[in-house]
Amino acid sequence: MKATRFFQTALLIIGLGSLLACGEDEIQDTDLILGRWDIQEALRSGRPTESLDNLFFEFFEEGKMRTNITGSTVDGSYEIDGDQLQQRGGPLETNYTIQSLTDSMLVLSAMINKFDFKLQFTRTVQEE
- Domain locations in the chain? 28-124
φ/ψ of 76, rounded to 5, equals -160, -160
**Tens digits of residue pLDDT in 33-74:** 999 999 999 999 999 999 899 999 999 999 999 999 988 999
pLDDT of residue 17: 47
- The class of domain 28-124 in CATH terms is mainly beta
Q: Which of 35, 117, 105 is nearest to 69 (CA)?
A: 117
pLDDT tops 60 at residue 89: yes
64-88: b (≥16 Cβ within 10 Å) or e: ebebebeeeeeebebebeeeebebe
Half-sphere exposure in the Cβ direction for 106 (13 Å, CA): 29
Return all residues near 36 (Cβ < 8 A) that are at least 6 apart. 56, 57, 58, 123, 124, 126
| 125 to 78, 93, 97: CA distances (angstroms) | 21, 27, 24
DSSP structure class, residue 78: E
